[in-house]
Amino acid sequence: MFTLNERLKADTIEVGCLELSLLLLMNDRSLPWLILVPEREGINEIDELSTAERSVLIEEISCVSGVIRELYHPVKINVGALGNLVSQLHVHVIGRFPKDRAWPGPIWGTGPIVAYGTDELNEVSAKIRASLKGWLK
Amino acid sequence: MFTLNERLKADTIEVGCLELSLLLLMNDRSLPWLILVPEREGINEIDELSTAERSVLIEEISCVSGVIRELYHPVKINVGALGNLVSQLHVHVIGRFPKDRAWPGPIWGTGPIVAYGTDELNEVSAKIRASLKGWLK
């Protein structure tokens, strides 16, 4: 029985379910920031997944990287599984730009975070889902 | 023909070669910090690797995570492929501790970095190689 961490739930909007992971959109309109959470209870580290699950995870990371590139044309994709604050395994996939608030440093822990408006959120979620094509369950 | 980025070369010591990646030790004695660099020329992003290469990469990330846990007992492993400064694809695998200099924030871009002494470096490299067992080419 998988339960999404409360802090992840509070900071994000659910985009959909992939084969292994729940895909979340960070509620930060300043840059494209998606989070993959493998739906496996009690997993904190990549090496706690099975080999088969890890293969799926890296394909999902790759897919989401491609979606962000297609929709936003960032100069770099940042991928990170940190978990110092929320130990539940979650993988950030973020499009970065030379004019974003933390460039060239890491984005985690920086602010201010500006939430999406409701219409904008629906629009962004819809375009991500469209770009995910066959990847959504 | 794969060439390691000059900045990565300057900041690290080579530990050995795995199936896909060159394994580097960040020359920072304050925490266990390893870097995997897939030996493929011109690759900047995870989704530029092939599916087969990605499967190997995530197994190497998993292996190196286990080595760090076995040798250092961190409270969390941080895995990151950023590349905002060095675009050549490289994946950090770092053991994190509540008393380290950046906890709970990301370690990238923080300092001061204190280099290993020569004897210590040989000792650390040797114990990592021993822990990698059959993973080294």
Tens of pLDDT, residues A48-89? 999 999 999 999 999 999 999 999 999 999 999 999 999 999
Q: Does any CB of chain B come closer than 8 Å to the CB of residue A108?
A: yes
Decide if B112 is inside a domain.
yes
Q: CB–CB of B47 and A54 under 8 A? A: no
Q: From residue B15, give the alpha-carbon distance in Å to each of A115, B12, B64, B89, B93.
A: 44, 9, 12, 18, 14
Contacts of B83 in chain A (CB under 8 A): 76, 78
CATH number of the domain to which B30 belongs: 3.30.428.10
pLDDT at B52: 98
Counting one residue from chain A and one from chain B, the pairs whose CB atoms sit within 8 A come to: 109
Q: Tell me how far CA of residue B116 lies from CA of A99, B22, B79, in angstroms.
A: 35, 20, 22
Number of structural domains in chain B: 1
Q: Does residue A91 lie within any of the structural domains? A: yes
Token match 């067992």: residue? B133
Within-domain flag for B1: no
Question: What is the value of pTM for the model shown?
Answer: 0.98
What is the per-residue pLDDT across A102-125, written as a single tens digit (0 to 9) for each? 999 999 999 999 999 999 999 999
Query: Does any domain span residue A137?
Result: no
Residue B105 lies in a domain: yes
Q: Is residue B136 part of a domain?
A: no
B51-92 per-position pLDDT tens digit: 999 999 999 999 999 999 999 999 999 999 999 999 999 999
Measure A129 CA to nearest chain B CA, in Å.
19
Inside any domain, residue A1: no
User: What is the per-residue pLDDT across B27-47, written as a single tens digit (0 to 9) for each?
Assistant: 999 999 999 999 999 999 999
Per-residue pLDDT, A70: 98
CB contact under 8 A, A57 and B58: yes
